[in-house]
Structure 1
Amino acid sequence: MNAVKPDPPPLEVLQSLVKLYTDRIAGQPLPLFDTEALPNSIHRWSKGLFNSFLALTVRYSDHVFFGDASAAAAAAAERYKKSASEILFAQLADSTADLEVFQGFCLLCLSEIYGESYPLVLTRKKLMDMDADGNMRKAWIAVGVATRLAISSGIMGTKIDGVLVNSELSRCCWSLFILDRIHGSSFLTLPAIFNEDSFPEMPPSPARPDVSNQNAAIESGEPQITLEKDLGINSYALQLLSIWGRLMSYLKNIRQGNLEDAWAANSTYQQIKSEMSRVETILPEVHRFRNSRFHELTLSELESHRAYWASWIFTQLVYHCIHCTLNHPFLHIARIPGQRRLRSPSFLQHATDQAVLHSAWVVLILGVCEQSGFKIFDPFIGHLASMIATAQFFLQFSKDETLAARASKDFRMLQGFVEKMSGTHAHLEHVASKLSRLAQFATGSTETNSFLPPKIETALLWNLLDYAVSSSTVVDGGDPSDNVEVAVNTQFLLPINAETPMPVSAQPHQQEGPRPDFWDQTTFEFDMADFANVSDMSGWTVPNESWITGHL
């Protein structure tokens, strides 16, 4: 088959595509190119790299050069993608791969993910004849081949003859790492990169904008931000992505029936928690939510430093999503037939509190983005939102009416966020469809006025927790007997309240007014697990409900 040779766009069009790439794709936190040098270097690219760049960017262009309709731009992008694929794979077969080939495969992987996917309605026969995961399987191939070749060729080494490798190679290696962690850490496959210790030095991160108001901090008596060793926002995003890969492996083992006592000291759960705590201790104060002043900035202030804020949002959401997923009600709290076993009430209380807290922070950050008009282009964030939505779906069945109402509202907000993102990322249409299917279980329970908690398909939940599978056209099959009951208890330890007998000497002094509610404390800041600024935790209200097996 002869390679398709689409006409290259003129300089004016190419410059618009470079800007489009810089605004929509770079720094999410993919550091593949130095965006400042990109306009001048793109003219020297090989044909394979050049066409892979066009395949990724042209589909979003509204320039008349590609036609008068979006369909014409998409068709042109497909032609560029086909040409790039044939050139790049031919170079691999001829053992002529160089840095630009690896860069081209990074862009080819993204072009598969960002590209069109198959229609939502497919017959089983048609599904068997085509890629059931939309373009995701092609993305796996692109990043998998490039990553394994990069490892075998030895370009991942930190030094060559005692000299640090060049910046372009460093950017390419870490871009391969990001794609491998996000798109290769699926339940259906294994990541190619297990240890990044031998990688080149990380590329520089975008500079943090100066948004702190030190004078205001001094006047208010708040402690000033101390100077710490700051590796850059992308460094912390990459460290979290490394933990993300381990989290996906943990979920895969659970799905395969390899259960463990999560509260055990040597459990995978505790190991991941320990890694997260390490990241929390090294994250500089300047990047924390409170000190970033993200929620106070205008759209123009955010857009003027989009490279930083896109990576900052990515870091925050991955962080909170790891914590929430690790403590997901589906994994620890929901009743699953055939898996009844003794579980620690204090651990279940901790897991529930963590799921509630971290899922709320994802909703908050996405809500700030929506209110400010700061648009998110990264489709992986759409997947993170869908994962958090599954946690909120469970929490809406809590016996705590306030928590249940808030979770129901947040689920709808996250569902709407994914649906909106699916307008520009077709593969997210299938994710949105599965969330709608999930929502129908709650609707059906309400309409029938059933006092029994509904059961939902376990396979549907696993599909939504796996990025690659979540965008497939169907739900992986599962045993209906494994369907999970969504009755969720959120109180496993008996709280101290007015109904708890207490010695006279231990009774608290009478309070002036009602006890504060955790969620109504507008001054409360989580700040990546930093509780140093919380003056008093003793007054937080805790939902008063019982656990079916009693209290400690």
Structure 2
Amino acid sequence: MSGGEAGVLELRPAPAVMFVSRNEAVSERADERLQHLEEKLDLLLSGGGLMNQAPRQRQRHRSFDDTAAIADSSDKSFSATPPARRPSYPPEGGSSATAIFDPDDVEAGLNLYFKYCHRQPIWCFERDELGDHRGLPEDLASSILALTSRFSEKRDHLQLYSNNAKTLVMLRIANGTVDLTTIESLCLLSYSSFIDGNVHLGQFHLGLSLQLCRSAMLDMESVYVPEDPASDRKKRLFWSLQLLEQSYGRQDGLLSVPTDIWRPSYPSGGAGGSSNSGAGAEQDPRAPPLPRDDLGTSTPSEPGIWNTSVRLGWVWSQVRRYVSDCSHNVLKEPWRHDSTYARVLSDFMETENRIPMCHRYDSVKFYERKVDELKINRDYWAPWLKEQFTYHAIPTVLNHPFLYIVGAQHNPNLGIPNTFWRRSSEQALLHATWIVRMIDMVVDKQMPLVDPFFGHVAAIAATVHLYYCCAAAARLKHKSNTDFAKCRRFLKSFIPCSAACDALDRNLDRMTRIAAGSESMDVEDWMPSKIYLSVPLMWEILQFNSTTGSREIPTAGLLDASLAPAIPPADDGEGSTLEIIVATSPEITINTADGGQDAPTLSYKPSHGRHGGVSSAVMPTAAATAGPARQNVFDTPTVDQIDSLTFNTTPWLYADSSQLINIGDLPDLQAETGNAWWEGDNFNNIMFNQF
């Protein structure tokens, strides 16, 4: 209000409404807005919205499975869905109706929540903790419907439910009646905003949730007493917020949350290592413990799969911070022992070492599970897939060629040694290929996933495969083209429920068109001799800064125009594009005379006891369209055809998944050898120039 105006806002417990004493000088417009707010809150708090509406025919919720139906299973790409219609959102301010929901709406919303959102990634409550759905607090019910309406026919009500939830949450804060369900509501609203690509609003809800946790001292271990029946529920809420912070929190700025202090604790003498292994393995003893989680465990001392994914997610948050630093040209030589790269890699290996055997790839045998079994035990398999995708995303991003090409151009001290370039490029391609293999299995097992994190990982892997589409070796070039198409199709499958993935897909599409230059991308097998990488778009994809425009997402408006941050225009000038003339194929030549110091040979047999089971070299897949396997998976390679990343140790990289029967039956591929790509003049073939 202006200096001559006065207003008093009196808030009373429900079912009271807001009473406002106005000065006569209050404008007619302000009076109308306050009157509308009074009516809206009165209707919400009295629960009478449904009674005042004309009878309407109830629409049954359409399952998201209809949208996630399996479509194209061609050799070119597996896809969880065909390219679907763009999600339709109501226009900004286009609906002034009050949110209405009857008990059937809430029940359907809860069913959708436990099907698509429970433990994937957030884990706020269990069914038995909610009691009768008709007795749910209205702010929590509205938040659940705001999150789940995207999976049903009532997606057009999403904004209405979200607005009601925000109004009720703010009313509780103003009245000083914040309880556990209030913070849970904010957690759901935050996740919903991230799915919608509204990063700023999601981070606001997340930050408000964390501040309320701080006020309630939920960040202190001493608060969680055994006699508190809600103790475990509080732990789940706190670490759910941490999971969202790990994947979607802001990484730059002085006020960003320092995620390095929130390393999840490990059980004493945990699986795969002792309690004192690793220099930084200990956590602040005042921090809250992880919740009780025994899904998939074989002994009570082992952490459950959700807790394991939290620990791996913490490493992912460090990778995101590393990428943010690289984008600001803050990069110490990664091969130095005190570099951020070395520290994050150490954290990654320490966390991997602590993953219990019961959750590892070779132990659970996801590829052998039946579709019905996976649906029944979705509470386990959804976070298990999150863990697997995170496990492969970490080294993919940490070793992404783009980071070090750009870094070397801005800092002459970052001249990349051949040894580091070889290993980092091998790791990036290896784990990007593993991501594609995981995508194949997810599609084959018909596992509907909605967390945009999976779409983000697919987009990152796509950028690696795009880079190798111009490899000198034909086999690697063809493989990269095929895997790139699979990643794009998988990303598109998230578009019906996630505007964030829609924005990611548009950025990837733009980058693909720029990469092609004057060449046509309509060709089935696009085999370019060079590509053009857009630097701004690469940073957008790697950092998941895909914030959609306000015209598409009504919730984009959080700040007044006077506070809205200025978005710098896209840099289309010199230096915004990298020309990759040849990305020569990484290759390892095994020399049995080196005493076994280089790499293992094909004699390796996988076993359940091997600590590397998370990323075993043998990954059988039960593809639905698999044809009869050939007797020999590979043709005998010539010197020119030896183009694979670790061809002798991971030959499955170039095989169809249907052909992976037994790696032990493969012929010896060491008969012909050639110079490794990093020897002689081959390294000079990797050329990149600025435009």
AA matched with 1:14: V
Counterpart of 2:470?
Answer: 397
Counterpart of 1:416?
Answer: 489
Deviation, structure 1 residue 447: 4.5
AA matched with 2:163: K
Alpha-carbon deviations, 1:412-436, whole Å to 9, x = none?
1111111121122123211111111
Deviation, structure 1 residue 146: 1.4
Counterpart of 1:191?
Answer: 257
Counterpart-to-counterpart distance in 2, 1:343 and 1:361: 26
Deviation, structure 1 residue 487: 3.9
Q: Which of 185, 188, 193 matches 1:107? A: 188
Counterpart of 1:120?
Answer: none
Counterpart-to-counterpart distance in 1, 2:288 and 2:155: 36
Counterpart of 1:97?
Answer: 178
Distance 1:299 1:150, change over 3 A: same
Give the secondary-structure state (helix, strand or coil) at the position aligned to 1:176: helix
Counterpart of 1:477?
Answer: 570
Q: Which of 122, 147, 152 matches 1:61? A: 152
8 Å CA contact 1:332, 1:351 repeated in 2:
no
Counterpart-to-counterpart distance in 1, 2:545 and 2:342: 26
Q: Does 2:263 match 1:182?
A: no
Counterpart-to-counterpart distance in 2, 1:291 and 1:313: 14
Give the secondary-structure state (helix, strand or coil) at the position aligned to 1:137: helix
AA matched with 1:477: A
Structure with more helix by fraction: 1
Counterpart of 2:341?
Answer: 269
8 Å CA contact 2:535, 2:577 repeated in 1:
yes
Q: Which of 195, 200, 208 matches 2:296? A: 208
Counterpart-to-counterpart distance in 1, 2:115 and 2:537: 34
- Structure 1 unaligned blocks of 5 or more: 63-72, 116-133, 210-225, 503-512, 525-532
AA matched with 2:314: S
Q: Within 5 Å, which residues of 2 pair with 1:62-461? A: 62=153, 73-115=154-196, 135-160=198-223, 163=226, 166-187=231-252, 190-191=256-257, 194-196=260-262, 197=284, 198-205=286-293, 207-208=295-296, 229-333=301-405, 337-340=409-412, 341-444=414-517, 446-447=519-520, 453-461=530-538
Counterpart of 1:119?
Answer: none
Q: Which of 96, 103, 108 matches 1:16? A: 108
Counterpart-to-counterpart distance in 2, 1:436 and 1:93: 45
Deviation, structure 1 residue 319: 1.0
8 Å CA contact 2:260, 2:318 repeated in 1:
no
Counterpart of 1:26?
Answer: 118
Deviation, structure 1 residue 113: 3.0
Counterpart of 2:77?
Answer: none
Counterpart of 1:465?
Answer: 542
Counterpart of 1:121?
Answer: none
Asked which structure has the greater CA Rg, the reply is 2
Deviation, structure 1 residue 337: 4.3
Distance 1:434 1:369, change over 3 A: same
Counterpart-to-counterpart distance in 2, 1:483 and 1:187: 24
Deviation, structure 1 residue 406: 0.9
AA matched with 1:182: S
Counterpart of 2:687?
Answer: none
Counterpart of 2:96?
Answer: none
- Structure 2 unaligned blocks of 5 or more: 1-33, 51-99, 263-283, 551-566, 595-634, 638-646, 656-663, 685-691
482-491 vs 467-476, which moves further: 467-476
Counterpart-to-counterpart distance in 1, 2:300 and 2:537: 44
8 Å CA contact 1:455, 1:484 repeated in 2:
yes
Alpha-carbon deviations, 1:83-121, whole Å to 9, x = none?
111121233344432212111100111232344xxxxxx
Give the secondary-structure state (helix, strand or coil) at the position aligned to 2:261: coil
Counterpart-to-counterpart distance in 1, 2:588 and 2:110: 59
Counterpart of 2:139?
Answer: 48
Counterpart-to-counterpart distance in 2, 1:112 and 1:378: 12
Counterpart-to-counterpart distance in 2, 1:389 and 1:44: 46
AA matched with 1:109: S
8 Å CA contact 1:184, 1:192 repeated in 2:
no
Distance 1:452 1:378, change over 3 A: closer
Counterpart-to-counterpart distance in 2, 1:194 and 1:94: 35
Give the secondary-structure state (helix, strand or coil) at the position aligned to 1:260: coil
Counterpart-to-counterpart distance in 2, 1:523 and 1:288: 24
8 Å CA contact 1:419, 1:432 repeated in 2:
yes
Deviation, structure 1 residue 339: 4.2
8 Å CA contact 2:472, 2:585 repeated in 1:
no
What is the CA RMSD across the aligned residues, in angstroms?
3.7
8 Å CA contact 2:515, 2:534 repeated in 1:
no
8 Å CA contact 2:142, 2:165 repeated in 1:
yes
Alpha-carbon deviations, 1:381-416, whole Å to 9, x = none?
111111111111112222232222111111111111
Give the secondary-structure state (helix, strand or coil) at the position aligned to 1:439: helix
Distance 1:339 1:13, change over 3 A: same
AA matched with 2:439: L
Deviation, structure 1 residue 333: 4.5
AA matched with 2:292: P
Counterpart-to-counterpart distance in 1, 2:674 and 2:344: 27
Distance 1:537 1:445, change over 3 A: farther
Distance 1:394 1:319, change over 3 A: same
Counterpart of 1:126?
Answer: none
Deviation, structure 1 residue 58: 2.8
143-152 vs 352-361, which moves further: 143-152
Counterpart-to-counterpart distance in 2, 1:41 and 1:539: 66
What TM-score results when the alignment is normalised by the length of structure 2? 0.64
